[in-house]
Amino acid sequence: MTAYRPRAIVIGASAGALEALTVILPSLPSDFRAPIIIVVHIPSDKRSVLAELFRAKCRIQVIDVEDKEPLKPATAYFAPPDYHLLVEDTETLGLTYEEPVLFSRPSIDVLFESAADVYGSDVTAILLTGANQDGAKGLVAVAEAGGQVIVQDPETAFAAAMPEAGLRLCPNAEVLSLDGICAYLRRIG
Amino acid sequence: MDAPVIETFEKVEDIEIRLLLEALYVRYHYDFRNYAMGSVKRRLRQACEQMGFATISALQEKILHDETMLPRLLGYLTVQVSEMFRDPSYFRAIREKVVPHLKTYSSLKIWIAGCSCGEEVYSLAILFREEGLEDRTIFYATDINQDALQAAEAGVYNLDRVQLFTENHRKSGGRSSLSDYYKAGYGRVSFDRSLRERVVFSDHSLVTDAVFGEMQLISCRNVMIYFDRTLQDRAVGLFKDSLARKGFLGIGAKENLRFSAHADGFKEFVREEKIYQRVGL
Range(s) of chain B covered by CATH 3.40.50.150: 88-278
Mean pLDDT score of chain B: 94
Amino acid at A126: I
Question: Which residue among A94, A98, A118 sits closest to B81, beta carbon to beta carbon?
Answer: A98
List the single residue in A with minimal CA-CA distance to B14. Answer: A117
Taking CB atoms and an 8 Å limit, are A68 and B232 in contact across chains? yes
Contacting residues of B for A114, CB less than 8 Å apart: 38, 41-42
- B209-268: per-residue pLDDT in tens? 999 999 999 999 999 999 999 999 999 999 999 999 999 999 999 999 998 999 999 999
- Residue B2 is predicted with a pLDDT of 57
Closest chain A residue to B83 measured between Cα atoms?
A: A97
DSSP characters for B37-65? HHHHHHHHHHHHHHHT-SSHHHHHHHHHH
CB contact under 8 A, B36 and A94: yes
Look up residue B20 and give its DSSP letter: H
Q: Domain A8-188: give its CATH superfamily.
A: Methylesterase CheB, C-terminal domain (3.40.50.180)
CA distance A114 to A132: 20
pLDDT above 90 as % of chain A? 90
Look at A97 and B224 and tell me if their CB atoms are within 8 Å: no
Query: Choosing among A97, A108, A110, which should be mutated to test the B contact, i.e. which has the most B CBs within 10 A?
Result: A97
Residues B132-184: tens digit of each pLDDT: 999 999 999 999 999 999 999 999 999 999 999 999 999 999 999 999 999 99
Longest dimension (CA), chain A: 48
**Is B7 a residue whose pLDDT tops 70?**
no
How many angstroms separate the CA of residue B252 from the nearest CA in chain A?
9
Bridge partner residues of B243 (DSSP): B215
Report ipTM for this prediction: 0.87
- Does the beta-carbon distance from A65 to B254 stay under 8 Å? yes
- Partners of A46 on chain B (C-beta within 8 Å) are none
CB-closest option in A65, A66, A94 to B38: A94
Provide the residue-wise pLDDT of chain A in tens; the chain has 189 residues: 457 899 999 999 999 999 999 999 999 999 999 999 999 998 766 677 889 999 999 999 999 999 999 999 999 999 999 999 999 999 999 999 988 999 899 999 999 999 999 999 999 999 999 999 999 999 999 999 999 999 999 999 999 999 999 999 999 999 999 999 999 999 998
Q: Which residues of B touch A67 (CB under 8 A)?
A: 224-225, 252, 254-256, 259
All residues of chain A having their beta carbon less than 8 Å from the beta carbon of residue B256 are 66-68
- pLDDT per residue as tens digits for the range B56-103: 999 999 999 999 999 999 999 988 778 999 999 999 999 999 999 999
- A68 to chain B: which residues are within 8 Å by CB? 229, 232, 256, 259
Cβ pairs bridging A and B (under 8 Å): 64
- Flag if B229 and A113 touch (Cβ within 8 Å): no
pLDDT digits (tens, 9 = 90+) for A36-81: 999 999 876 667 788 999 999 999 999 999 999 999 999 999 999 9
Is the Cβ pair A68, B37 closer than 8 Å?
no
Q: Above 80 in pLDDT, residue B281?
A: no
d(CA A154, CA A159): 7
CB contact under 8 A, B225 and A97: yes
Contact A64, A54 (CB under 8 A): no
Smallest CA–CA distance, residue A125 to chain B, in Å, is 17
Q: How far is CA A99 from CA A135, B41, B100, B250, in A?
A: 16, 15, 36, 23
- CA dihedral B200→B202→B207→B211, nearest 10 degrees, is -40
Whether residue A67 and residue B254 make contact (CB cut-off 8 A), yes or no, is: yes
Secondary structure (3-state) at B225: helix
pTM: 0.91
- B17-56: b or e for each residue (b if 16 or more CB lie within 10 Å)? beebbeebeeeeebbbbbbbbbbbbbbbeebbeeeebeeb
**What CATH code would you report for B88-278?**
3.40.50.150
Q: What residue ranges do the domains of chain A occupy?
A: 8-188
The whole-angstrom distance between B74's CA and the closest CA on chain A is: 14
Residues of A labelled catalytic: 14, 41, 134
